[in-house]
Amino acid sequence: MRGGAKPVPPYLGDMPELPELEALRLRLGPRLEGKLITAATVNPKKAHLLRYPVDNFALELPARRITSLTRRGKHLVFGTELGGGGSPRWLVINPMLGGRFQLVEGEAAVPATEVFTLRVEGKRELRYLDFRDMGRIYWVGDCQGEVPGWTGQGPEADSVAEMGFEVFRKRLRRFRDELKDLLRNQEFLAGIGNAYSDEILFEARLLPLRRRASLKPAEEEALFQAIPVVLTRAVEAILANPNYEESKQDRSFMAVHMKGGKTCPRCGHRISQLGTNREPLNFCRGCQL
């Protein structure tokens, strides 16, 4: 292990990961699927976030119907079609560090962080907000061919249980990374980032800086079991929050992530924090081995 826990500068915030986007899909899907887009506007100050000509984007989205809302890794995907079921296209958004979504009544004030707004029938507006200008927005006819990195993504992280342990172990042994980096590697599994890698390794009782090759068979199985437990529990916690808002991110339910210096809920040891203010690494030296 590298050095002891050290104070870190103020935290900049985590990007949405699989649980946040899955909860968002479950919340927004029933309210948007089947709805007609009646207008689209782009904030000129943030138009550079679109990987598509701004004028075309604003002209092509209206008159399309939202047919589906799905998720692939850390991407939220809005399927659309013109009337009659023709010309399918997809609005693909990777929120990165500062991207958030907001579904509001049309008269609600527009935040300065707005990137684009889709007005849908029923006088509602779907807004994409980005307070760090890092999101990536694609308007495409083919996700595989037009969204960078799409084809390199591994299986969905929440499909591990269906994969089965033997398949998981074979996939695991293809990689040599430290465990923290391995879980964040989208080629290994899609959807896990900085926050939930901490939580999964805590659940599995594994230190994040260990190499994958150091794992014993029982530890490989512990990791296999921890991934779906943590992700499922997180989605449930997010959806159970009575104050849930699409545009905000509450991770107070987490066990160790961003809890550096606090008491471990499992063994009472002090939780360690390493790394930069953008990508903190949290773990417990008392019960993670």
Q: State how far the Cα of 119 lies from the Cα of 123, in Å rounded to an integer.
A: 7
**Is 67 among the domain residues?**
yes
The residue out of 91, 125, 146 marking a domain boundary is 146
pLDDT at 101: 96
Question: Can you count the helices (H) and strands (E) in the chain?
Answer: 8, 10
The residue with tokens 């509001």 is: 104
Neighbours of 94 (CB within 10 A): 22
Q: Of 146, 181, 200, which one is at a domain's C-terminal end?
A: 146
Task: Assess whether 132 and 181 both reside in one domain.
Answer: no
Gap between the Cα atoms of 43 and 128, Å rounded: 10
Q: Does residue 102 fall inside a structural domain?
A: yes
pLDDT tens string, the chain, 289 residues long: the values are 334 444 333 344 578 999 999 999 999 999 999 999 999 999 999 999 999 988 999 999 999 999 999 999 999 999 999 987 779 999 999 999 899 999 999 889 999 999 999 999 999 999 999 999 999 999 999 999 999 999 999 999 999 999 999 999 999 999 999 999 999 999 999 999 999 999 999 999 999 999 999 999 999 999 999 999 999 999 999 999 999 999 999 999 999 999 999 999 999 999 999 987 678 999 999 999 9
Q: Answer whether residue 259 is part of any domain.
A: yes
Cβ neighbors of 278 (< 8 A, separation 6 or more) are: 12, 97
17: nearest Cα among 136, 134, 99: 99
Is 4 part of any domain?
Answer: no
The two tokens of residue 36 are 């007609």
Q: Point out which residues pair with 40 in neighbouring strands.
A: 118
Based on the domain organization, do 112 and 62 belong to the same domain? yes
For residue 223, the domain's CATH number is: 1.10.8.50
Range of the domain at 233: 157-284
Query: What string of H, E and C letters represents the secondary structure of 117-143?
Result: EEEECCCEEEEEEECCCCCEEEEECCH
In 3-state terms the chain splits into helix, strand, coil percentages (rounded to 5) of 30, 25, 45
The helix (run of H) or strand (run of E) holding residue 241 is: none
The answer to the question of residue 12 being in a domain is: no
**H helices within 79-185, ranges in order?**
143-146, 160-163, 165-172, 179-184
**Structure-block tokens of residue 173:** 């042994």
